[in-house]
């Protein structure tokens, strides 16, 4: 099976060479592995430092359009039967590609294969490990689990090329949460498997508060949009549970970043999506988790009959 690895990059010349070398060091046969680096309009010396790899990689440059647009350009150009993604600041274990290909070949019903990850700090020290087996089942049917536990990090993913093209690739209008959006669209009609070993080292960057807050907003947007379009295929109970879990999870994140108003609004929006009654118990839980401001906002909105 020919595999295309797509590495999008923008002004990360020091990091991208490490990522490329990680792809080149795979145990999977080199003649069955295409490495496509999509330069999203870098203004640093990315082109010069990548020249050292010669014809071992395909280097393509495009106008700046964001990481999703860069990945989609790679999808359009890919020659492989399967596509793997590697962000330019992440690295792979040497057997990652071989392990994923073996699973795709052994289980033709599977269209997307993920792995567990090791999260590393900017200084290279290990921060934590995430097992995907704790959040995804083994039978391939993962949609209702993804609704509660977003699990796809692009650098862990290998997907059949035909499926990526069928679902339309990444949504280039999203600055963040594009991974969740793609995972939901694939999981809706396709089966997903997990290799529960940390085959990816994922860099946790020092993102600013505004960037982190934007991520929470985008995750809410993606989930609301998906459930509005496909709620009838999911079922009312799963839809409400997914909304409740998503609002609460992202409200906690926004509160952590000091966005009290946004946290209050999400906390309030979670209330109508309870499976059962007991608004007073929920409001008490909101008080414990988010503080008085969130609970007061929820009470006001519910009392006023505001459509949340």
pLDDT digits (tens, 9 = 90+) for 240-261: 888 888 887 887 778 777 777 7
- Assess whether pLDDT exceeds 70 at residue 307: no
Q: What percent of the chain stands above pLDDT 70? A: 82
Question: For the residues 270-293, what does the mean pLDDT come to?
Answer: 55
- Assess whether pLDDT exceeds 70 at residue 210: no
- Assess whether pLDDT exceeds 90 at residue 144: no
Q: What pLDDT, on a 0 to 100 scale, did the predictor assign at position 122?
A: 82
Q: What pLDDT, on a 0 to 100 scale, did the predictor assign at position 252?
A: 77
**Position 281 confidence tier, pLDDT thresholds 50, 70, 90:** low
> What is the residue-averaged pLDDT of the chain?
85
**Position 74 confidence tier, pLDDT thresholds 50, 70, 90:** very high
Highest mean pLDDT pick, 31-40, 177-186, 216-225, 271-280: 31-40
Question: For the residues 199-225, what does the mean pLDDT come to?
Answer: 77
Q: What pLDDT, on a 0 to 100 scale, did the predictor assign at position 253?
A: 79
| pTM recorded for the entire structure | 0.86
Q: What pLDDT, on a 0 to 100 scale, did the predictor assign at position 232?
A: 87
The string of pLDDT tens digits covering residues 118-130 is 998 888 788 887 7
Q: What's the CA gap between 10 and 40, in Å, rounded?
A: 5
Sorted by where each starts, the structural domains of the chain and their CATH numbers stand as: 3-203 (3.90.550.10), 209-304 (no CATH)
């Amino acid at each position: 099976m020919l595999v295309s690895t797509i590495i999008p990059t923008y002004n990360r010349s020091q990091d991208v060479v490490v990522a490329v070398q990680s792809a080149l060091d795979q145990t999977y046969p080199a003649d069955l592995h295409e490495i496509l680096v999509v330069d999203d309009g870098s203004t640093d010396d990315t082109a010069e430092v990548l020249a050292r790899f010669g014809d071992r990689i395909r280097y393509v440059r495009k106008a700046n359009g964001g990481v999703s647009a860069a990945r989609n350009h790679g999808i359009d150009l890919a020659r492989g039967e399967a596509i793997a993604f590697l962000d330019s600041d992440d690295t792979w274990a040497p057997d990652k590609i071989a392990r994923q290909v073996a699973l795709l070949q052994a289980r033709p019903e599977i269209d997307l294969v993920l792995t567990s990850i090791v999260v590393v700090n900017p200084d290279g020290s290990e921060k934590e490990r995430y097992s995907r087996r704790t959040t995804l089942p083994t039978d391939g049917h993962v949609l209702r689990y993804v609704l509660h536990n977003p699990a796809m990090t692009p650098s862990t993913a290998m997907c059949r090329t035909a499926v990526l093209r069928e679902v339309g690739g990444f949504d280039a209008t999203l600055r963040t949460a594009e991974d969740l959006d793609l995972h939901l669209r694939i999981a809706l009609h396709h089966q997903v498997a997990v290799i529960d070993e940390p085959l990816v080292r994922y860099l946790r960057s020092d993102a600013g508060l505004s960037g982190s807050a934007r991520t929470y907003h985008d995750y809410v947007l993606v989930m609301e949009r998906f459930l509005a379009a496909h709620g009838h295929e999911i079922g009312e109970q799963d839809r409400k549970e997914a909304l409740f879990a998503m609002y609460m999870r992202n409200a906690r994140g926004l509160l952590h970043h000091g966005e009290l108003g946004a946290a209050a609004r999400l906390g309030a929006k979670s209330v109508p999506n309870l499976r059962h009654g007991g608004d007073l118990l929920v409001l008490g839980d909101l008080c414990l988790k988010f503080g008085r401001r969130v609970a007061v906002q929820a009470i006001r909105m519910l009392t006023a009959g505001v459509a949340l």
